[in-house]
Amino acid sequence: MNHPSKSALSRARLGLGGALIERFELLFRVATPGQLDAGFASLGSFLIQLLVLTTFDALEIGAYAFAYTGLTMAALIPANLVFAPYELKAIEYDEASRLSLLRYSLPPGLLAAGLAGFLLVAASVPAMGQIPASFFLGLVATAWLAMVASVIQDHVRRMAHIGSRSWVAAGMSGVYLVSAATGFVILKSSPPQSWAPFGVMLTANLLGLGFFVVARGARGKLEGRLPIAELRRIGGWLLIGSAGIAVGGFVSMFIIERIVGLDSVGHIEAARVVGRPVQVIGLGLLAVVAPRIMTAASSRDVATAARWSRFYWIVLGSVAGLFTVALLWPVITDELRSLLPVAFIVPLLAVVTAPTSAMAVADVPIRAELLGYRGQLSIARGSLIGAGAQALASLLAIWIGAMAGPVAAGVGGLASLLVMAWYLRKVRVEAVDE
């Protein structure tokens, strides 16, 4: 007769504490490459942003913020319309075959990314006329190319995680980090160059993709035909949902720029960089938690999905709280102020940005679970309502200036989370009844 181990019995007695211990042990075993992947990628991006903050003036930083927001908006088109449905479909195949989907996803994704560059240009228009035309053109042209390479590299890394090649994804991000660090060292003492930040991003992403080609290993074979029509329907709703978030962020930034000026947008962007470590933790957990939640939801295992969601929120909330407190400590603040003075021109802007950075990724478990239930429409509704709330909250800039940036982002994130949580509650009831 098999008997439960002492450790299993002790965890059963601990209840919630035992469940958390079990998840931390699993996190230690499997999240290391996920955390390294997110950490390397975020640190590389931080160095690129640091290059901007240390070489550009406030107006140029504001122009960069519009171009970067345009890059983010444009990347959502291939990421959601093409890549995300393939990533969702991949969990239905055995792990050895999942990377084989890349041969189907990359060609249409590359085409969509190239065409999406026109959206990036349109989003950058508010900065035109406030900086030299040559600077604007160099910034936007390199941003377009960097967006195409970045969205493809992100998709390949996510597929590597889904295909149980997380260490390959971490290696790609490692190459990205080394490339970004090299670019930072070479260019940080040079005169401001409009092509520098996105040129470094482009090069780093291409080298990361080169690493994948060398290290990917066998891909296996797919059996049967892919349901292309179904993938397009899923992608359409995902695009609407993600576009709502991006458009909300853009409209918020545009409103604030109209009220308090482009230099204030630069201050908000700099403060966002300071709060970035909170999102790094969230994105690192995402690589581990999201696939498990989607798998549990697709098999109607509500209890498992809920446990992983609680675990995610406990870790993210703890990190956000500790980081916010740390930013109130003068020793840390003084060091950061010497490194990123633009982020601390507006008092407490960086401090407020830290918890709102957590709000930006707080809805990840709900999105993942709704995807497992094929609840793309619910995600789209929540995202659009959140975008509207963020845009409206941006009008607070009339009274609180640049502080409206992180406040509006927090309001939008909270609204989106609450709406999707309401839909998820209804879906869970239906899943339990099945």
Position 25 scores a pLDDT of 56
Q: Please tell me whether residue 131 adopts helix, strand or coil conformation.
A: strand
Position 224 scores a pLDDT of 53
Position 20 scores a pLDDT of 55
What is the token pair recorded at 191?
A: 């005169």
Angle at 170 between CA 283 and CA 366, to 5 degrees: 25
What is the token pair recorded at 422?
A: 């309401």
For the beta carbon of residue 226, count every other beta carbon within 10 angstroms: 14
Position 415 scores a pLDDT of 94
Beta bridge partners of 128: 131
Position 339 scores a pLDDT of 84
Query: Could you list the pLDDT tens digit for every one of the 434 residues in the chain?
Result: 444 444 444 444 445 555 555 555 555 555 567 778 877 888 899 899 999 998 998 889 999 999 999 999 999 999 988 898 888 888 778 777 788 889 889 999 999 999 999 999 999 999 888 889 999 999 999 999 999 999 999 999 989 988 888 889 999 999 999 999 999 999 988 888 999 999 999 999 999 999 999 987 655 565 555 666 666 677 777 777 777 778 888 899 999 999 999 899 999 989 988 888 887 778 777 777 887 898 889 888 999 999 999 989 998 999 999 999 999 999 999 988 888 888 999 999 999 998 998 988 899 899 999 988 888 889 999 999 999 999 999 999 999 999 999 999 999 999 999 999 999 999 998 877 66
Position 5 scores a pLDDT of 43
For the beta carbon of residue 374, count every other beta carbon within 10 angstroms: 16
Position 6 scores a pLDDT of 42
Position 92 scores a pLDDT of 77
Distance separating alpha carbons of residues 54 and 425, to the nearest angstrom: 46
Judge contact between 95 and 121, C-beta under 8 A. no
Position 367 scores a pLDDT of 92
Amino acid at 219: R
For the beta carbon of residue 29, count every other beta carbon within 10 angstroms: 9
Position 350 scores a pLDDT of 93
> By CB neighbour count within 10 A (0-12 exposed, 13-18 middle, 19+ buried), where does 26 fall?
middle
Amino acid at 374: R
Beta bridge partners of 131: 128
Spell out the domain ranges in the chain. Answer: 32-226, 230-434
For the beta carbon of residue 413, count every other beta carbon within 10 angstroms: 23
The gap between the terminal CA atoms of the chain, to the nearest Å, is 34
